A = this chain, B = another copy of it.
Amino acid sequence: MQLYHHPMSASSRFIRFLMGEYGVEYSLVHQNPWDREAEFIKLNPAGTLPVLIAESDVAICGVYAICEYIDETRGTMMRERRLMPDYPLERAEVRRLIDWFCVRLEQDATKALVRERIFKVEMPRNSGGGAPDSAAMRAARNNVKQHMRYLNWLAGSRNWLSGKTLTAADIAAAASISVLDYMGEISWPESPQAAEWYQRVKSRPAFRPILEDRVRALTPVSHYADLDF
């Protein structure tokens, strides 16, 4: 299997982390989200990441379809290490949180910060490259604060984000948070319970290769890949 991804795409990180936890072997294809190459649009008309090339070379597009596919085809063999809970109501909570971190946090904050601080540096001028928009960054940073308050509350009131066990919700959340953390956009001392939770997820071996990724445009903050920070 092949995964079309970008190291600063939170949703791509989520799927890589999930496949790592499930022991799925795959190779990575780097795709710039701003390139709308005809070949890639043929795979995913939405032009978004991630895209998984699965059995019979079929493209599975987007975090919702890929995450369910991986769990449906590999989850049962994971037994108690499965990242989807047994009961429909508990799965509904995991899915709410995946949506929260991969769609809502992305729209509210991550998308703008990654675009302004990383993509615009690498993008050619005619694709939208250039100076960052400080108003967009300010609005996004405000939203990061709101989101961190909610994450801190979740982490403080449950053992893992969606309940008693580690689930795909934690994997999605950590993947998304790691992109913001790379850019130094998270003030950890203000969110001690989220920090404690993040440290636990961060120490999982499947997260290591993701934390080792770098982009040319920006060096990560010093604590970024530390397991205790």
Contact = CB atoms under 8 A, between A and B. Distances in A.
Interface string A74-106: 000000000000001101110110111001100
Given A64-B64, A99-B62, A99-B64, A45 B150 contact: yes
A73 B95 contact: no
Interface of A: 45-46, 54-56, 58, 60-62, 64-66, 68-69, 72-73, 88-89, 91-93, 95-96, 98-100, 103-104, 150
Contacts of A64: 64, 95-96, 98-99
Classify the interface of chain A: helix, strand, loop or mixed.
Answer: helix
19 contacts: A46-B96, A46-B104, A54-B89, A54-B92, A58-B92, A60-B89, A60-B96, A64-B64, A64-B98, A65-B91, A65-B93, A65-B95, A65-B96, A68-B91, A68-B92, A69-B91, A69-B92, A72-B88, A103-B103
A91 B68 CA distance: 9
Copies of this chain held together in the complex: 2
A31 to B, nearest CB: 17
Nearest to A46: B104
A98 B61 CA distance: 11
A201 to B, nearest CB: 21
Most chain B CB atoms below 10 A, which of A55, A65, A92: A92
Contacts of A103: 103
A222 to B, nearest CB: 33
Contacts of A56: 89
Contacts of A96: 46, 60-62, 64-65
A68 B89 contact: no
B60 A92 contact: yes
Contacts of A150: 45
A62 B58 CA distance: 28
Contact of A89 (B55, B92, B95): B55
